[in-house]
Copies of this chain bind each other. A is one copy, B any other.
Amino acid sequence: MVITSTDNPRIKALAKLKTARERRRTGQFLIEGGREVERATAAGITVEALLICRELPGAIDPIDVTAEIIEVAPGPMRKVAMRENPPGVIALARQFDTALSRFVPGPKSLYLIAEQVEKPGNLGAMLRTCDATGADGLVVADAATDVFNPNVVRASQGALFSVPVAVAGTRDAIDWSRQGGLQVVGGYPDAAAPLWDVTLRGPTAILVGAEDVGISAAWREVAVPARIPMSGQADSLNASVAAALLLYEAVRQRTDRPLPAGKDEPVAESA
């Protein structure tokens, strides 16, 4: 039986999961799109139900899935989907554990800490960069956007399921970084040392602040400043761009290749 009414109670309940409050209440979230659903199941995410609309592109034959199958018409699919052009498949999934205590830093650790980042697109782009740089995890500190927001899932292109993610308050995240012996490195436009001169070879957490206000006072006390040079009229970069520049600088320094003469010392520590 295909659900055709947008007033169907099941559809209304699913559409509610577009709000952070309902996701918190139920511990569930939505995954839009066949590729994303495949990556989620491959990563061991529990899919409880699959909404399938055969009239929309990307509908899949859920042969491998033990989840409940709900066949719907385009109208109900549009109601449940966050994106304007709904996909042929949306999964109802169970949220995974995001406790920070799962993250145990080691001597080669590389983490990204995103403080109060608001835009789902930025969190998604950061997850992709964490995946590409082989970062050990993303810590969402003092979350301004729920990582289970459908737009984060989408913008991450499935990296939400391959990159370990933790959510924590600022205080807890600072304590964790201290106890783990992590050097926290934040990008500032006015720091003395450019990022290329701050050694990122030891256990490191890259820190980026909120889109509008940047890094908070609490984090400024613990973070080593690294200057991202800016020569223009604008005073900041997109948050996910700043994160990527610092993460890839860590990759550059950790790649087995000659360093500039005299740059093997941790400049930031002597500054």
Which residues in A have some Cβ–Cβ distance to B below 8 Å?
A: 39, 119, 121, 124-125, 128-134, 155, 157-159, 162-163, 194, 196, 228-234, 236-238, 240-241, 244-245, 248, 251-252, 255, 257-263
A128 CB contact (under 8 Å) in B234, B258, B262: B234
Using A248-B245, A255-B194, A258-B262 as known contacts, say yes or no to A133 and B240 having CB atoms under 8 A apart.
no
Given contact pairs A132-B230, A159-B234, A258-B261, enumerate 16 new A-B contacts (beta carbons under 8 Å): A119-B121, A125-B238, A125-B240, A128-B234, A128-B238, A129-B237, A131-B230, A131-B234, A132-B234, A133-B231, A157-B236, A158-B233, A159-B233, A162-B232, A241-B244, A257-B260
Is the CB–CB distance between A232 and B163 below 8 Å?
Answer: yes
**Lowest 4 CB-CB distances: which A-B pairs, in order?**
A131-B232, A125-B238, A134-B231, A132-B230
Q: How far is the CA of A130 from the CA of B194 in the complex (A)?
A: 18
Could you list 11 A-B pairs, sorted by A, with CB under 8 Å?
Answer: A124-B238, A129-B241, A131-B232, A134-B231, A155-B238, A157-B234, A159-B233, A196-B255, A228-B248, A229-B255, A259-B260
Taking the full assembly, how many copies of this chain does it contain?
Answer: 2
Q: How far is the CA of A106 from the CA of B121 in the complex (A)?
A: 36
A124 to chain B minimum Cβ distance, whole angstroms, is 8
Interface-centre pick from A229, A234, A245, A263 (highest chain B CB count, 10 A): A234
In the complex, chain B residues whose CB is within 8 Å of the CB of A230:
131-133
A162 CB contact (under 8 Å) in B129, B234, B248, B255: B234
In the complex, chain B residues whose CB is within 8 Å of the CB of A162:
232-234
In the complex, chain B residues whose CB is within 8 Å of the CB of A194:
255
A211 to chain B minimum Cβ distance, whole angstroms, is 10
Is the CB–CB distance between A232 and B134 below 8 Å?
Answer: yes
In the complex, chain B residues whose CB is within 8 Å of the CB of A238:
124-125, 128-129, 155, 240, 244
In the complex, chain B residues whose CB is within 8 Å of the CB of A128:
234, 236-238, 241
Q: How far is the CA of A231 from the CA of B157 in the complex (A)?
A: 15
A260 CB contact (under 8 Å) in B130, B131, B236, B260: B260
